[in-house]
Structures are given as structure tokens and as C-alpha cells.
Amino acid sequence: MGPLFPQEIIGEELNILIGFFIGIGFGFLLEAAGFTNTRKLAGVFYGYDFVVLKVFFSAAITSAIGLFIMNQYGIIDMSAIFYPKTFWIPTLVGGLIMAFGFIIGGFCPGTSMCAAVTGKIDAMVFIGGALIGVFFYAYTYEPLWKELRDSGAMGKVNIAEWMGIDSGLFILILTLIAASAFYAVTIIQKKVTAKGDYQI
């Protein structure tokens, strides 16, 4: 029964090796989906290319459904995985800072790394900026960020429980929302690209 490493069913070396191979799959798919092209990424905000939305929601929902079923069958113990705690204030503020970063810089960290190693010079510059950003944060952590980062603590919160509904029902609603969004963005993308101005 999973997760295997946290329950000491597999050792650390094997765990790291598995992580490496999982990373290869993730990186391969990000590149194959076109996530190294900054214009394809920005397209989600301007209507000419919704690849980000399609890949992102397909991945999150696949994982949510898979883990939900595995948890039901006792194949994985969700209480033993790394479950992100919710600190709503820094997540909201940090998320808005990242929104600026995304729309100005045209990448997020994962996509910039894939883009940089496959030759995109703008992505190399983005990573340089990101490292400076992390250094700046690290050296100003105690005076500027510590208090904000620890505010709004809510512990481990499952959104379905928080809304007072069953996890399965939440996943169903999320899937229906995503399916409607996929349908809508396909129409929007056709209209926007038909004008001819926004072809990549």
C-alpha cells in the first residue's frame, strides 16, 4: 500500500531514482505539449491558444480522480503523503505576485527550466531573474516576509471538506466545469485565431 517511501517500503536511493524518472516523464510532456514556447503560454490570457488550460486541468483532474479511487480501494493512504497546508493570505499574495511574474515574464519556473535547456534564451534570462528573486527573498526573509508567510494558517484543508461536500462529488463538479471550459475555449480560440492577427 502506498505511498511507498514515506512508509519505508522502498529506500531513499530507489526513491530518488524514481523521482528522477518521474521528472523525465513530466519534462518530456511539458516540452511535447509546447510549454517551452512563451507565446503559447501567454495565449491562455489572450484567447489565441489555450494549451495551458487544457493540459493543466486534464492533469489535475486525472490525478484527483486517480488518487480518489486509489484511496477508496486502500491502495494509497492519503494521510501519509505530503499534503500542502493552507496559509490562505501568503498563498493569495504570493499567487498575485506570480500572476504579475507570469504575464510579464511569460513563464513559470517549471516551463522556464524546460525552455532554457532546449535553447530558449528568454527562458535562461527568466531563470536568472527567478534565482535573484529567491536570493532576495531569502536575505530579506526575517524582516519582510516571515510574518506574512505564517499568517492565515488553516492547517491541512481539503477543499471538499471545507465546502461541506463529498470528495467524489467535488471531483465530479470540477470535471464538469473543466469539460465546459474546454468546450468554451475551443470556440473562443477559433474566433480569435480566425481574425488572423494572433497566429503563433
Partner 1 sequence: MERSKKYMNPYLAGILIGVFMIAAYYFSGEGLGASGALKSVVVATTDMVAHDYATEHSYFSARVSDPENPPIKTWLVFEVLGVLVGAIISAAFAGRLKLETIKGPNVTTKTRFITAAIGGLLFGIGSQLGRGCTSGMVMSGMGVLSLSGFIGLMAIFGGGYVLAYFFRKLWI
> Could you say whether residue 146 binds partner 1 (CB under 8 A)?
yes
Query: How many residues of this chain bind partner 1 (CB under 8 A)?
Result: 128
Contact 31, 37 (CB under 8 A): no
Using CB under 8 A as the binding rule, the residues of this chain from 84 to 143 that contact partner 1 are 84-88, 90-110, 112-115, 117-123, 125-138, 141-142
Q: Is 183 in the site for partner 1 (CB under 8 A)?
A: no
Which residues, 52 to 71, sit near partner 1 by CB under 8 A? Answer: 54-64, 66-67, 70
> In angstroms, what is the minimal distance from the CB of 93 to partner 1?
6
How, if at all, do strands 153-155 and 86-87 pair? antiparallel
Nearer Cβ to partner 1, position 26 or 180? Answer: 26
How far from the centroid of its chain's Cα atoms is residue 65's Cα? 16
CB-based contacts of 135, cutoff 8 Å, min separation 6: none
Distance in Å, CB of 176 to partner 1, minimum: 15
Are the C-beta atoms of residues 128 and 136 closer than 8 Å to each other?
no
Could you tell me the three cell numbers for 167?
470528495
What would the grid cell of residue 22 be? Answer: 518521474
Q: Write the binding mask 21 to 50 for partner 1: x where contact by CB under 8 A, - elsewhere.
A: xxxxxxxxxxxxxx-xxxx--xxxxx-x--
User: In this structure, are residues 2 and 79 in contact, taking their beta carbons and an 8 Å threshold?
Assistant: no
Please, what is the minimum distance in Å from the beta carbon of residue 114 to partner 1?
A: 4
Question: Is 168 a binder of partner 1 (CB under 8 A)?
Answer: no
- Sole binder of partner 1 in the list 8, 73, 74, 82 (CB under 8 A): 82
Q: CA 75, CA 68: separation in Å to the nearest integer?
A: 10
Q: Which is nearer to partner 1, 20 or 190 (CB)?
A: 20
CB 170 within 8 A of CB 178: no
